[in-house]
Amino acid sequence: MEIISGGVCAPLGFIANGIHCGIRKNKSKRDLALILSSCDCAASAVYTTNKVKGAPLTVTKRHLADGVARAIICNSGNANTCNANGIEVAEYTCAQLAQRLGVEKDKIVVASTGVIGQPLDPTPIVSGLDELIGGLTDDGSQRAAEGIMTTDTVLKEVAVSFNIGGVECKMGGIAKGSGMIHPNMATMLVFITTDCAITSELLDKALKSDIRNSFNMVSVDGDTSTNDCVCVLANGMADNRKITEEGDDFATFMKALNTVTVSLCRMIAADGEGATKMLECKVSGAVDEANAKIIAKSVICSSLVKAAMFGSDANWGRVLCAIGYSGAEVDVSGVGVSFKSRAGEIEVCKDGAGIDFSEDVAKQVLLEDEIVIDITLTDGEATACAWGCDLTYDYVKINGDYRT
């Protein structure tokens, strides 16, 4: 497994682009993105668990019923959610794009992100399609990544190279996500491409298995969005032996997918709205995986823990508090807590009780921009990991006037 450049254009047969079409007022911001495969792809997607869902999700789910797709189009600046004509707008967008690409409308994945409850006029999107298509290139991943950003401060992309049966395959991904991020998906849009040949059934199984330990373990602010979607396209152009059953090849594919998804998870967590620090909570020694995940998520979601991390305050009692109300099966008398960063490591709690430690050293550890909250238990051997960020003054500023 090797990290490479190229994002969603790293795999063979994929081109992409992103432009400003006029949805967003700031003309320097791209607001429309397109990813296109040169041939049909096995496709799979997972969607938000929120009962209020963006219209594009309904359309995409319908289009992916047969497990086949060719292109992904996404706009930013408007979520196309809670609109009376939202589905019609999403379908119209797909139809206009399909006509210009010469593909079937049902092979288009459509997504939107931005403000909820604002009517989406498709005119700017349709007017921009010729420019969007005309600018498609095999180095367009960054432009596409910029086109799906909202309050994100950095673009998010990654790619890997891996080997299936002696054949090099590649996988790449782009993501957007900064706020309204909480376990069980979020205002996350993630688009992943691969040239590996795999059946749509196994691709679907791989994605649904992976998100339990990746995107469902990310939280920025405790809000579950209406529009999140993770979609994977596999066009098979690497010409490897097609993965048709579970085994070594499928395991390698799963490892590549998890490398991409975890990398994007960390980027999303680090770029949380107003965030200054990426938090990673590692739990070991839990009675089982389910309980390990409950604990990791509870700690990463705690507003008091997040605020303490913002202030570089080694307030380990807040970590134990979050463990205690999590509902997990745990022997609190066996809990240990350490904080880690590039500046070092400091143990602050052992056997469920405080121990002497240097506040000055702890402060230096917690001043770094990536912090690990390491929790050790004595209940079993299960582990889990969750990602989040600190809670800052700027989070309130950003969301206080997000719509206006």
Strand partners, 165: none
Say how far apart CA 323 and CA 372 lie, in whole Å: 16
Say how far apart CA 238 and CA 89 lie, in whole Å: 35
Strand partners, 243: 198
What type of residue is 362?
A
- Residues for the chain: how many in total? 404
- Which residue carries 């579970």 as its tokens? 246
Say how far apart CA 306 and CA 64 lie, in whole Å: 38
Q: Provide φ and ψ at 66, rounded to 5°.
A: -95, 0
Q: Tell me the three state secondary structure of residue 100.
A: helix
Say how far apart CA 193 and CA 291 lie, in whole Å: 33
Q: Tell me the three state secondary structure of residue 236.
A: coil
- Which residue carries 């998100």 as its tokens? 211
Q: Is 93 a catalytic residue?
A: no
Say how far apart CA 46 and CA 69 lie, in whole Å: 14
- Which residue carries 């070991």 as its tokens? 284
- Which residue carries 């965030």 as its tokens? 275
Strands 370-376 and 189-194: unpaired
First-to-last C-alpha distance (Å) of the chain: 45
**Torsion sign across C-alpha atoms 158, 162, 164, 169:** positive
DSSP-derived secondary structure for 139-208: T-HHHHHHHT-SS-SS-EEEEEEEEETTEEEEEEEEEE-SSSB-SS-BS-EEEEEE---B-HHHHHHHHH
Q: Tell me the three state secondary structure of residue 10.
A: coil
Say which of 48, 187, 224, 392 is annotated catalytic: 187
Give the pair of three-digit tokens for residue 317.
């009692």
Say how far apart CA 404 and CA 400 lie, in whole Å: 9
Strand partners, 167: 164
Just list the catalytic residues. 187
